[in-house]
Amino acid sequence: MDKEYMLNYENTFKDFKEGEIIEGIIINIKDDYVFVDIGYKSEGIVPLNEFKSPCNIGDKIKVMFLGRQDANGFQMLSKLKADRLIGFNTITQAFKEEKAVKGTIKASIKGGFLVDVDGFVAFLPGSLVDLSKRRNFDYYIGKEYEFKVISVDEQKKNAILSRKQLLEEIANKQRTDLIDKIKVGDIVEGKVKNIVDYGVFVDLGGIDGFVHITDISWKKILKPQDVLKPQDEIKAKVMRIEDKDDKKRVFLSIKHLSADPWEEIKIKEGDVVEGKISNIVDYGIFIELSDGVEGLIHNSEISWIKFPKEAKEELSVGQSIRSKVLMVDTLKKKIALSIKRLDAEPWSSVEEKFRVGDIVEGVVTGIKDFGVFVKLDEGIEGLIHTNELSWSPEERPTLSINEKIEVKIIDINLDKKKIALSLRQLEPDPWSLIEGKYKAGDIVEGVVTGIKDFGVFVKIEKGVESLVPRSELNNISVNKDEKVKIKIIRLEIQKRKMISRLM
């Protein structure tokens, strides 16, 4: 061959530099090597172990030209180094353009993970692998994700990735897109995220909505936990959207998915209704009349004849009861009910059953310092004032609760719903029996019943006492229950008064 022919022959081959990435075609696979036609003077070889996946004759691959030959004259090539450089270039370009890259988490190391991006191994800090860190790092091994490139060192050929930052950016975009899309009046779907005493936070798919406890149901709810639980899927209506601290807040309502039951209420004053006790409180009883409509029976409207505490002890939540409607206010959403008004007021028939002067039988219901309460009929009580228990304080009877006694009615006040009773007036007034029996100047015997600073009381007969003023004691000392003689100085029977001198 002449020189010109050889020169033309050599010019048909490409000239490569060491470290250059070139493309070739697999022409043979033998033993531990892959033979590649790279359009050079001689074929190239790549160690078979540099291939991550099976390869076939005819496949096009990219390799790095290493600029040296093996003992057989084949050009040494590296697919592994080519992949690393291509991957690093991909990461570098993504970093400059602020784009995401795809990679597979290969292994966990101290502080994070190793991620394969097109053959280049980048570092992923453990704190940046997810929005919420998992304790088990093995969960991520072998999984392919998209990552944000947050740092690249071109000289040292290393890079740091973040999946968390990318997820945050995606979530923010979804949040922005969703908040721009949502408008007041929309019906949205979401999942219960968190429950607090005053309401429920709902994940709408990137943004949170809030349902206040009063917007959960038309019914009265004491605790949101009684109705909803975390992860419950719900529908709700967007009531309003507020801007606060550069953030939009979405307020939702579950109850407004249905009509307000108060707008369709047909209950009116005077109706007798039936409902279930939904709650018992200090001041009364709440009755559920229909779904979302409650009425209140105030303590004063529970019973004509029993104290509220006593009457409520016979009732329980869930119990069905009848009541009478006293008032309906649809604007304020209030209904006043009464149990006791299902029956006539006991005092309305007092004039028919009792008259002043009647002697009646009753049962002792209460004993106080000022007197004794006696039940005369259902819902009707009278009072025996202390002075009316006996004609003489020393002879007052000992009474007990639930004891049956006879009493005399001495006064009836319908306006104040009071009846005055007397035990002592069941017997004649002792003072009326001594008229003509004693007169001023008489000397009589008696027993000392009381000693006061101003004088001494002496009992003459049952229910009849005389006062011996201190000035009429004649400097004589006496003791209680001592028998003494006295001289009557003044006697006023109508005033029930007798003044005497100690003899």
Q: Is the pLDDT of residue 6 over 90?
A: no
Question: How many distinct structural domains can be found in the chain?
Answer: 6
The fraction of the chain above a pLDDT of 90, given in percent, is 46
Instruction: State whether 244 and 268 are in the same domain.
Output: no
Asked if residue 91 is part of any domain, the answer here is: no
pLDDT mean over 88-116: 90
Instruction: State whether 13 and 75 are in the same domain.
Output: yes
How does pLDDT run across 103-150, given as a tens digit for each residue? Answer: 999 998 888 899 998 888 899 998 899 888 777 788 899 999 999 999
* pLDDT given for residue 52 in this prediction: 79
Spatial separation of the C-alpha atoms in residues 481 and 334, rounded to whole Å: 67
Instruction: State whether 350 and 422 are in the same domain.
Output: yes
Instruction: State whether 249 and 278 are in the same domain.
Output: no
Token digits for 306? 């029993």
Model confidence at 7, in pLDDT bands (50, 70, 90)? very low
Token digits for 365? 């219901």
Q: Is the pLDDT of residue 9 over 60?
A: no
Q: Is the pLDDT of residue 292 over 80?
A: yes
* pLDDT given for residue 66 in this prediction: 85
Spatial separation of the C-alpha atoms in residues 289 and 445, rounded to whole Å: 76
pLDDT mean over 482-497: 92
Model confidence at 90, in pLDDT bands (50, 70, 90)? confident
Asked if residue 199 is part of any domain, the answer here is: yes
Determine contact, residues 324/342, Cβ cutoff 8 Å. Answer: yes
CATH number at residue 192: 2.40.50.140
Please state the length of the chain: 503
Q: Is the pLDDT of residue 250 over 80?
A: yes
Dihedral through CA 465, CA 468, CA 470, CA 473, nearest 10?
Answer: -140
Instruction: State whether 240 and 294 are in the same domain.
Output: no
How does pLDDT run across 42-52, given as a tens digit for each residue? Answer: 788 988 888 87
Instruction: State whether 102 and 142 are in the same domain.
Output: yes
Asked if residue 276 is part of any domain, the answer here is: yes
Residue for token digits 């602020």?
Answer: 98
* pLDDT given for residue 396 in this prediction: 85
* pLDDT given for residue 65 in this prediction: 87
What is the chain's alpha carbon radius of gyration, rounded to the nearest angstrom?
A: 53
* pLDDT given for residue 246 in this prediction: 65
Determine contact, residues 43/74, Cβ cutoff 8 Å. Answer: yes
- Range(s) of the domain holding residue 483: 436-502
Token digits for 340? 């006791």
Residue for token digits 């795809």?
Answer: 102
pLDDT mean over 26-53: 85
Write down which residue in 239, 257, 275 finishes a domain.
Answer: 257
Write down which residue in 257, 280, 307 finishes a domain.
Answer: 257
Asked if residue 22 is part of any domain, the answer here is: yes
Dihedral through CA 232, CA 238, CA 240, CA 243, nearest 10?
Answer: 70
Spatial separation of the C-alpha atoms in residues 186 and 28, rounded to whole Å: 65
Instruction: State whether 469 and 497 are in the same domain.
Output: yes
DSSP string for 268-287: -TT-EEEEEEEEEETTEEEE
Dihedral through CA 52, CA 54, CA 58, CA 60, nearest 10?
Answer: -20
How many Cβ atoms from other residues are within 10 Å of residue 133's Cβ?
A: 11
Spatial separation of the C-alpha atoms in residues 236 and 198, rounded to whole Å: 17
Residue for token digits 């005399």?
Answer: 408
Q: Is the pLDDT of residue 319 over 90?
A: yes
Q: Which of 9-13, 178-182, 341-345, 413-417 has the lowest mean pLDDT?
A: 9-13
Residue type present at position 156: K
* pLDDT given for residue 249 in this prediction: 84
Asked if residue 106 is part of any domain, the answer here is: yes
Asked if residue 93 is part of any domain, the answer here is: no
Helix/strand/coil for 248: strand
Model confidence at 337, in pLDDT bands (50, 70, 90)? very high
Instruction: State whether 163 and 197 are in the same domain.
Output: no
How does pLDDT run across 431-483, given as a tens digit for each residue? Answer: 888 888 999 999 999 999 989 999 999 999 888 999 999 999 988 899 999 99
Token digits for 39? 């359009």
pLDDT mean over 318-327: 94
Asked if residue 128 is part of any domain, the answer here is: yes
* pLDDT given for residue 386 in this prediction: 93
How does pLDDT run across 69-84, given as a tens digit for each residue? Answer: 887 888 888 888 888 8
Asked if residue 176 is part of any domain, the answer here is: no
Q: Is the pLDDT of residue 498 over 90?
A: yes
- Residue 366's contacts (CB-CB under 8 Å, 6 or more residues apart) are 372, 373, 401
Residue 300: closest CA among 288, 289, 311 = 311
* pLDDT given for residue 401 in this prediction: 93
Q: Is the pLDDT of residue 237 over 60?
A: yes
Spatial separation of the C-alpha atoms in residues 212 and 201, rounded to whole Å: 9
Helix or strand holding residue 430 (H, E): helix 430-433
Instruction: State whether 16 and 42 are in the same domain.
Output: yes
| Stronger pLDDT, 199 or 86, i.e. the higher one | 199
pLDDT mean over 190-204: 92
Which range scores top for mean pLDDT: 42-51, 329-338, 346-355? 329-338
pLDDT mean over 310-323: 91
Whole-prediction pTM:
0.48
Write down which residue in 29, 57, 82 finishes a domain.
Answer: 82
Instruction: State whether 251 and 272 are in the same domain.
Output: no
* pLDDT given for residue 253 in this prediction: 94
